[in-house]
Structure 1
């Protein structure tokens, strides 16, 4: 992961000419995708460059994009791209060996560009593509100074809600002017009085002797004139004028934009959690009826219009006038491209050819013309309810019956012994985790500097193999519980609070039925209990909620708890073992029993609103919250009271007798 050498992003290698770091490939999907900042092992703060240069070899070696292909038809269609690709991994070029896909890396840029000297405290600005660690030039020129110290990058950056990022306006802030008139505005010094607040940080101009503390630069402020929320940086940088976002995108090589962004800009610590929220969409591989037991990766090679293997198959079909060619004929027709078929047996290849030919005139899996036109979640839910035996998804029913005490509340349990989840990054947010309802295309556009044709579009993705437990709540008991007026009244508190927040942030509204809060809370309770019972860390388990409020699905409430880690924790079978009869009943009973009392009660159980955006009722860090990587809703829409009742009204609990 080297730092590029100039604005065109080539790479220069040599002694101390490249800033390098090592990052797991999956982390380039989240949390270190394009536009995200991180600190390397040598202390340099860098920002991941856009997708334009991810697959550019610094040695001019041939790049075979298909070697990085992640085959997931449904997710590609849902995101509107032609490919999903794994982030490139670095492979050293060796003499006498094939140089295909060698010397690939993910480029980064040095950001923030402002640095300060820890000795003299002066500020200096460098180019985004600076590849070495600069030293203080002023200390180096001093006759009494020893070797000058390395400069440290400033801790503050500025951002806006539309995803832009820029350096903090140091000169503008100290001179209290959007366009400073100081003769030498860059001769600045950042001093500190030793306190732990922003008021102790003071910015000084040594030329005009102006100084100003950094008090409040990260705070929001109400714009009384326009009756909307703004920031201290926007409203108070210059009296009588608004300092708005400059539209910067340093990860794309743009420090400012020709069309400034009208959004309010706010300062933040460069390592703050709200600087980058990856927008990731995921899907669990579901084999279609047409594909049968054919290998999905092999089938993709035979059906992808851009695949040379499909071209070879089409040639054979023309020669044999539509008859079924055999595996050996296809290998010969593929010529040098047949190396991608070496890992498949003739029997596997013959089965895949048969499936591919039968679907030549049909839409590929995931198209709108077939049964797969349903949403990702609806397809997954329909598959997980039954039993499946395929190379990438194995769902089985327990061999023995579950206890009646469990089936009274949970009508269906399936053991997902194997699953493959694909996660793709399609954009990112800053400031808030959710974007405005009108700006979805704008978030996706942040990943690239130059748009690409639809046939060449791609997004970074990764796959995770794991296991899980799928369950559904008893529909009859669920319907009777939802008809309770007290339940509806309690849920409406959360709905109104979220609606107010959505209108304030210009987000899409949503319907929050009681079953959604119930199944979401149950997921958190079970995950917390499973971490005690089978040794998984809470960050290694993830929830996937299947609740619909339309059509026939309105009577269902499904939940999948599965392993989210891409290492050995997801393949040992421990989660499936806990879902078997004789064990799962005890897990559910223990989770419900633990939910009846929280160490923060009665404050927690009687809460009228807590957690993110106050969209939780009886749920806190002690009883109901999970790591945000495990929760689909950012730890919102949780309430133990709907599961076990409250102190004043125990009858509203779904799991109460």
Structure 2
């Protein structure tokens, strides 16, 4: 039996539905769609895995969020157990394999349960005491719409989409070189032979031809295009529901561009209706045994009936003691929130998914003030800030407790980002059958952490943004991103001085905090609240959300106290004035990912990809501390 282990959070990213991974025994598998993650059964209580995050549910237009199931053995000593033997199914992919000895290519079904062995009678391994295990081929084919299929070995070697060769016997041979030209596929039936040179490349037929194509699509067969069939092996589909027609690109199955998880994250903000409800009641109602009792009662309620406190106490039976400290009125007020109708007025749309400002406005409004709830605690630091710092940083908040929820709502292939035109199609890739009303859900997980929120002075920011030199500085960056967006069919966005300023400041502070309080840069994350205009957002949150105890020890919050924060800020600005790669770095007109950075490199401002929201783009130290030619250009140039 082919099986392996993976952390539950990794089933959201990077090994969600449609992603490939290599198990401990060397088998390459692909994670199956959501249709079979929770198989209905007598001992299934899916509500145990429920994550309550009302903002993400409304925003993504789903009825629920669930963590991937964990595996539990069924112990005879503990009868009546729920959620045992739950597994996330995987399929063996690529389906094509070759024998390491005789190099014969064969194809096995996706659902094969054991590692296959060579069955070629001419293989020298057949004479040994055991037949050699087959190794899966290192190549696959994919398209930009998310489809994935086995490399077309038969069609490629015969240079035809419909080869006439009957019973082809293929072999994958290598001359020992390190290029694709050294890999050759041979058909021993008709003596056809062809190398794999160019299968991963992209080409544009001519300058007037705007449609980009691939070498595999254009040259598999002379005079005809071999396009994608829309295969989705993680859903058990060898061909798509509809014709795809996009160019097909060859790729190594371990390449980084084969799978990009689309993850939406949210800092939990209590609903306004929960302000008058005791958080202890909500916590008790969401406890595992009480949550199961609520689900049992909900299943037998008739239309129009409501769940009452007395009915819940009876359903909870021996676990009703968890509710004995609360009155019926308290319980029913909390039930009205938890069991109330779902607001679907903000479902997944082009505008809400691709514009983070629209979704984060509510976070920005809540986190900039003090709040004390079960999931979010924000306090104002004690003491006064120095005058020069207070003129530039108008607000600092200590986020002593936060809960971040990360949801997988789709995935991309080839490009890490996708245009807004196919948002719904990305979500549809996760499952084979469209869920019925009231049963749609997405995989998610939560992490706890703490952080520091800071906000710049609107008056100082407006005066700085109005400078001609500031706007002129960003022209090369904006032009470069415009070209990148056109090449990758991305939604255009406005690269503003405010965005670059806040983003660069977040990177500099994170790098400085790694020295000041010992966090690794990969355990800190940024969250930007930036939108243009006098009423726009102008804040940033630096927080820990690494899924372990490192993010809950209070070390980061203590750095937000005035005396410590000011030292961190001053040191970060001082270090930003000079980079070990200067003057090359600060005078650059384009460097970093997609050349969308100015004065920012690995020596000064870049972070691990897990810590950055913008793929390490839109960074410039010049807008922070000035340049060699214009030392007063930076927003913090006067801060010593």
State TM-score, norm by structure 2: 0.91
1:547 and 2:520 matched = no
Corresponding position of 1:573: 554
User: RMSD of the alignment, in Å?
Assistant: 2.9
Check whether the contact 2:408–2:444 (CA below 8 A) recurs between aligned residues.
Answer: yes
Structure 2: distance between partners of 1:611 and 1:423: 27
Report the Cα offset of residue 362 of structure 1: 8.7
Listed one character per residue, the Cα deviations across residues 279-313 of structure 1 (whole Å, up to 9, x for unaligned) are 11111111133212533555779999x94567899
Structure 2: distance between partners of 1:65 and 1:274: 33
Cα pair distance change 1:309/1:518, threshold 3 Å: farther
Corresponding position of 2:259: 276
Corresponding position of 1:123: 105
Corresponding position of 2:205: 223
Check whether the contact 2:263–2:408 (CA below 8 A) recurs between aligned residues.
Answer: yes
Check whether the contact 2:48–2:291 (CA below 8 A) recurs between aligned residues.
Answer: no
Listed one character per residue, the Cα deviations across residues 171-201 of structure 1 (whole Å, up to 9, x for unaligned) are 211221112222232x111122222221221
| Aligned length, in residue pairs | 621
Listed one character per residue, the Cα deviations across residues 401-455 of structure 1 (whole Å, up to 9, x for unaligned) are 2223322221111010000111111110000111122100100000010101231
Corresponding position of 1:410: 393
* SS state at 1:412 partner: strand
1:65 and 2:46 matched = yes
* SS state at 2:209 partner: coil
Corresponding position of 2:84: 102
Corresponding position of 2:9: 26
Structure 2: distance between partners of 1:316 and 1:252: 38
Cα pair distance change 1:94/1:198, threshold 3 Å: same
- Deviates further, 621-630 or 160-169: 621-630
Structure 1: distance between partners of 2:385 and 2:3: 54
**Runs (5+) with no aligned partner, structure 1:** 1-17, 320-324
Match of 1:636 among 611, 617, 632: 617
Aligned counterparts, 1:335-484, within 5 A? 335=316, 339=319, 343=322, 346-347=325-326, 351-356=330-335, 375-484=358-467
Match of 1:505 among 488, 509, 514: 488
- Deviates further, 635-644 or 257-266: 257-266
- Deviates further, 90-99 or 277-286: 90-99
Aligned counterparts, 1:30-41, within 5 A? 30-41=13-24
Aligned counterparts, 1:569-608, within 5 A? 569-608=550-589
* SS state at 1:522 partner: helix
* SS state at 1:347 partner: coil
Structure 2: distance between partners of 1:549 and 1:343: 49
Corresponding position of 2:179: 197
Report the Cα offset of residue 605 of structure 1: 1.4
Cα pair distance change 1:352/1:335, threshold 3 Å: closer
Structure 2: distance between partners of 1:170 and 1:360: 54
Match of 2:195 among 206, 213, 224: 213
1:184 and 2:167 matched = yes
Corresponding position of 2:592: 611
Report the Cα offset of residue 481 of structure 1: 0.8
Report the Cα offset of residue 42 of structure 1: 0.8
Cα pair distance change 1:468/1:119, threshold 3 Å: same
Check whether the contact 2:217–2:227 (CA below 8 A) recurs between aligned residues.
Answer: yes
Report the Cα offset of residue 531 of structure 1: 1.8
Corresponding position of 1:86: 67
Report the Cα offset of residue 330 of structure 1: 4.8
Match of 2:501 among 518, 523, 533: 518
Listed one character per residue, the Cα deviations across residues 74-112 of structure 1 (whole Å, up to 9, x for unaligned) are 110001011111111111112251132111110000001
**Runs (5+) with no aligned partner, structure 2:** 347-351
Match of 2:156 among 153, 166, 173: 173
Corresponding position of 2:32: 49
Report the Cα offset of residue 352 of structure 1: 4.5
Structure 2: distance between partners of 1:118 and 1:363: 59
* SS state at 2:120 partner: helix
State TM-score, norm by structure 1: 0.88
Corresponding position of 1:332: 313
Check whether the contact 1:616–1:636 (CA below 8 A) recurs between aligned residues.
Answer: yes
Cα pair distance change 1:141/1:170, threshold 3 Å: closer
Check whether the contact 2:528–2:541 (CA below 8 A) recurs between aligned residues.
Answer: yes
Structure 2: distance between partners of 1:416 and 1:334: 38
Check whether the contact 1:50–1:252 (CA below 8 A) recurs between aligned residues.
Answer: yes
* SS state at 1:652 partner: coil
Corresponding position of 1:238: 221
Check whether the contact 2:313–2:323 (CA below 8 A) recurs between aligned residues.
Answer: no
Listed one character per residue, the Cα deviations across residues 614-641 of structure 1 (whole Å, up to 9, x for unaligned) are 2211222222222222211111111111
Structure 2: distance between partners of 1:614 and 1:297: 48
Structure 2: distance between partners of 1:265 and 1:36: 18
Structure 1: distance between partners of 2:621 and 2:387: 23
* SS state at 2:406 partner: strand
Structure 1: distance between partners of 2:221 and 2:377: 63
Structure 2: distance between partners of 1:128 and 1:626: 39
